[in-house]
Chains A and B, each alone.
Chain A
Amino acid sequence: MSLLKLTDVAMVYGGRVTALEHVNLTVEKGDWLAIMGPSGSGKTTLMNIIGCMDKHTAGQVVLDGIDLNEVTKNELTQIRRDKIGMVFQQFHLIPYLTAVENLMVAQYYHSIPDRKEAMAALERVGLADRADHLPSELSGGEQQRVCIARALINYPVLILADEPTGNLDEKNEKLVMDLFRELNREGHTIITVTHSDKVGQAAKRIVIIEHGHLRDA
């Protein structure tokens, strides 16, 4: 069974603006998919649907065996909490919490905060020594690695990364991409949305989205 299957999915905002149309996509466990496309093509809309942050208006989305058509908003929150790990272009760390506390927040919403486990996750991304620093005291690359550690902390079935290297310099871009490669090698399923060819090429598979339609690269 596929980890993620989108069948003829559409998203229409306010009954007038069509963001996605006839989208079909299958992602297997352990896959690494890159979604590429120009601005305004529907990438973010697609990520929101896959990330259980928005509900599509037509078609069917099945994630890890759960038909998202059948779930309520609260259940969607639960699924997002349990199954998705997110990495954002702008990192989105909580500014008044330290690196390790930012990881523990994700644990708190999921189940039980465990500092030891959060420290292990930070160690994994090479930031154990920066655990008690606030985001403002970390470089962009370090913030993104904290963000990746946070995405992994609750053992999600799918990691969604929105332009994960969009705000990073070349050196940090390499560090982050190496991390993604390692995660994928370990069996993590990853979907990245990117403009960058370099990031796209790192994935096992690329799909192109244009004007709300999806096609293979």
Chain B
Amino acid sequence: MLMNLQRIKMYLTMVTNALLRRKLRMFIALLAVAIGATIISGMITVYKEVPEQMGREFRAYGANLLLLPAGGSTTIQEEKLQSVYQKLQGHEIVGSAPFLYERLKINESPILVGGTDFDMVKKVSPYWQINGAMPSGSGKELLLGYELAEKFQVKPGERIILALGDGSWESPFTVSGIVRTGGKEEQFAYMDLKQMQEIVSKPGVISMAQVSVVASAAELDAFTRQMAAEEPSIHPQTVKQIASSEQTVLGKLQALVLLVTVVVLLLTLVCVGTTMTEVVSERRREIGLKKALGADNRNIAAEFFGESCMLGLLGGILGTVCGYLFAQAVGTNVFGRSLQVSVPIAVMSVVLSIAVTAIATMLPVRTAVKVEPAIVMRGE
């Protein structure tokens, strides 16, 4: 045991001194490994965090889940929504906007009016562009779609008469704002949900809800399957365009990270391999001497692999720390959030650095073990 310890100690002395007392050459190799590890650990950290961050970013493009009536009904009871939200536990719900649509009239022209919660609309559909303001919910206010406003030649602040189709009710409303979305919302008018429920005498009832939730397409699909089984009165539907765009962007990002990682690994491999080849070439006489002193091929290989593994370890640790700082900078500047330290990524990055340097050393080691001890006598 003590004998082995003495051998290990001597081995480590040789390996560390070979690195430490040949600073310049090894610094270049160390730099190559560290840069490789920086990029790899940084990219992987960013990649790991990106789906969640991107999910949050994607919420700006609108709801990714629709809750529609099912089982022959045309409406949903509002209180049923709570059970849906409970089932989405674990995912951040950015917002859930309920809508109750009814056909009403302006100047005898039928229009579709949606009663909704405007605070939630702001969260679910932040892309709505309002000229004027959203209805406050306190007075009789209406948000007109752009096409309707053009049709009736109405501007924000003006008043219009809204009536039920059968003429049993009519009342003046102030147009608080005009909404542009680039979609079919421009053909509709919107008012406060409670007012709408009162006008059409449907308290506590909605036609549908738009939900914006931070979840992947696969998670949403799993959720819709679960809902279909457990809540037959509600039919959840994933908004495919949003979910699949998210998936496409993430897929491309994944491919990019993979490509960069492979390229960086190859470059590190080439750089370390070249450096180690030069090191072997410079140290031919030393290798010959060691063989003359009785070193066998295993001794020589073990020393060079030891040097490269130590290089990989140091470069890997240095690079992983730099990579984390790089990822932090990306997280703070791009997503406005700091990222968590991931121990598995750090360990993987260091292990990968060691593996790459060890692989890069294979060819130089093959050259090293071929050196004949006789070269020391020839004085080469």
Contact = CB atoms under 8 A, between A and B. Distances in A.
B222 interface: no
30 contacts: A44-B378, A47-B377, A53-B292, A54-B372, A54-B374, A77-B294, A80-B292, A80-B373, A82-B294, A86-B376, A88-B379, A90-B379, A92-B285, A92-B376, A94-B289, A95-B21, A96-B18, A96-B22, A97-B17, A101-B13, A101-B17, A105-B10, A108-B11, A109-B293, A109-B294, A109-B299, A110-B294, A112-B3, A112-B6, A134-B21
A123 interface: no
Interface residues of B, number: 31
Contact of A77 (B7, B18, B291, B374): B291
B290 A114 contact: no
Interface in A77-135: 77-78, 80-82, 86, 88-90, 92, 94-97, 101, 104-110, 112-114, 134
Contacts of B295: 77, 109
B231 interface: no
Contacts of A44: 377-378
A105 B6 CA distance: 11
Interface string B101-141: 00000000000000000000000000000000000000000
Contact of A106 (B7, B9, B294, B374): B294
Majority SS at the chain B contact face = helix
B132 to A, nearest CB: 79
A106 B293 contact: yes
Interface in B280-321: 285-286, 289-296, 299
Contact of B379 (A51, A89, A113, A150): A89
A31 interface: no
Contact of B290 (A90, A96, A107, A109): A109
A112 B7 contact: yes
Contacts, number: 88
Interface residues of A, number: 36
A96 B21 contact: yes
A162 interface: yes
Contacts of A78: 294
6 residue pairs, one from A and one from B, having the closest CB atoms: A81-B294, A96-B21, A109-B294, A113-B10, A53-B373, A53-B374
A72 B17 CA distance: 33
